[in-house]
Amino acid sequence: MVGNVLVGQSGGPTAVINSSLAGVYKTAKAQGAEKVFGMLYGIQGLLEEKYVDLDEHFHNDLEIELLKRTPSSYLGSCRYKLPDYEADTAIYDTIFQILKKLDIGYFFYIGGNDSMDTIKKLSDYAETIQSNIRFIGVPKTIDNDLEATDHTPGYGSAAKFIAATTREIIRDSLVYDQKSVTIIEIMGRNVGWLTGASALAGSTECAGPDFLYLPELDFCLEEFIKKIEQLQKTKKALVIAVSEGIRLADGRYVCELTEDVKYTDQFGHALLSGSGKYLSNLVSRELGCKSRGIELNTLQRCASHMASLIDITEAFQVGEAAVNAAVEGKTGEMVIITRVSNRPYQCTTGTYDIHKIANIEKKVPLTWIKEDNTGIAEEFMEYVRPLIQDELTPIMIGGLPKHINYSIF
């Protein structure tokens, strides 16, 4: 490799984003990289020259194994949007000066939509100044909303946790001989990939959620209450999965109907939690029955103890593929996963033009959602089922899953 390697993590963390970091690190070393630097807190930290030499932190393969089992972004993260370089080159000058100082030849950024925007802008700018540095995006997001790739590392583990937990919650909901409605609120601002995954809870011993409401279609409060009332005639304990991002036909988020203070991040994304609680209060009020809102919250993105082995493995592989692609001379691309077959489940990695990925959200196809938005089609189940398979046994110490040390900050 010509020059050193720089790798960063960006956006919301996942249970397996560190497995991609492990993949980049191990492959870069195997490819002969002299130094592999990790930027702390993504591009925002890099601007403040916050970085580490990863050799000083990963001493042996046991630590790499712990890294793969540690949730959240080991290097820290940011939600930082670069300005257009046509408007402001100053920040780009700073970044490229730092890259030059560290003799960086390869730049890897593990992230989602917003992070791919960073790769796009940096690779475009590199072209204008004829820099040889190669910029490759490594896909990551529990939301599974990245274009061009069959699915996104992080999604499978979140789906597995959601499905396992939904099954446990359904079991819990059955105990009393009385009417009750449990509403599970699942992440996904504009896409229902995660909410749909709750249907995997269904099995010979579990009916699965009774209704699922995805954000791809409008949500109607009256219809919602009516459906519950109807089903309650034959079933006492109902469990319903809703996306945090469900919206009324007039565009308002259901969670906005509450009074809670909302924090908004730099990309203008408000915290969308509260739809489950709001709906459970509505059910109690309208139908007079016991109702409970359960927000899976950050647990669904950091539950490494329930990670999918398929997901952890693929997360490592996309890191590996990113380094190999950069060594082959590629830049301005993101690694993608292509599904070759479903039975047996087989995937390959490739790369794809970042311009056709950044800032685009891949939604659940409408044909995969029931017309009245109360469930998903079998195609969705076929798609997601392989992604939650198998486990990477946690390393348990003192009764708890062990993580890698966090002395990096």
Could you tell me the smallest distance in angstroms from the CB atom of residue 41 to a second copy? 4
Count the alpha carbons within 13 Å of 34 in the hemisphere toward its beta carbon.
Answer: 7
* Residue 395 touches a second copy, criterion: CB under 8 A: no
Please report, as residue ranges, which positions from 288 to 347 form the binding site for a second copy (by CB under 8 A): 290-292, 294-295, 297-299, 301-306, 308
Radius of gyration of the chain (CA): 22
Please report, as residue ranges, which positions from 205 to 244 form the binding site for a second copy (by CB under 8 A): 205-206
* Residue 13 touches a second copy, criterion: CB under 8 A: yes
What's the token pair of residue 113? 């939509």
Q: Which stretch binds a second copy (CB under 8 A): 112-120, 201-209, 321-329, 356-364?
A: 201-209
Give the contact letters, 100-139, x = binds to a second copy (CB under 8 A), - = no: ----------------------------------------
Count the alpha carbons within 13 Å of 293 in the hemisphere toward its beta carbon.
Answer: 20
* Residue 176 touches a second copy, criterion: CB under 8 A: yes
Active site residue 124: no
Q: Taking phi first (over 0 means left), then psi (-120 to 50 degrees means alpha), and beta for anything else, what does residue 253 get? A: beta
Q: Which is nearer to a second copy, 132 or 203 (CB)?
A: 203
What's the token pair of residue 9? 């993590």
- Map tokens 């403040």 to a residue: 48
- Nearest C-alpha neighbor of 36 from the set 23, 17, 19: 23
Of the residues 86, 177, 328, 371, which one makes contact with a second copy according to CB under 8 A: 177
Could you tell me the smallest distance in angstroms from the CB atom of residue 378 to a second copy? 15
Phi/psi for 348 (5° steps) reads -125, 165
- In the chain, the amino acid numbered 332 is G
Give the contact letters, 33-72, x = binds to a second copy (CB under 8 A), - = no: -------xx--xx----x-------------------xxx
Could you tell me the smallest distance in angstroms from the CB atom of residue 62 to a second copy? 13
Q: Which is nearer to a second copy, 128 or 297 (CB)?
A: 297
The whole-angstrom separation of Cα 294 and Cα 169 is 9
Of the residues 20, 27, 73, 131, which one makes contact with a second copy according to CB under 8 A: 73
- In the chain, the amino acid numbered 84 is D
Could you tell me the smallest distance in angstroms from the CB atom of residue 129 to a second copy? 28
Q: Is 143 in a helix, a strand, or coil?
A: coil
According to DSSP, the β-strands at 345-353 and 333-342 are antiparallel
> Rounded to 5 degrees, what angle do the CA atoms 382, 384, 390 make?
110
Please report, as residue ranges, which positions from 244 to 283 form the binding site for a second copy (by CB under 8 A): 259-261, 263, 271, 277, 281
The whole-angstrom separation of Cα 26 and Cα 33 is 10
Q: Is 213 in a helix, a strand, or coil?
A: strand
Catalytic residue chosen out of the listed positions 114, 143, 210, 311: 143
Q: Which is nearer to a second copy, 339 or 385 (CB)?
A: 385
Could you tell me the smallest distance in angstroms from the CB atom of residue 191 to a second copy? 21
* Residue 164 touches a second copy, criterion: CB under 8 A: yes
Active site residues: 143
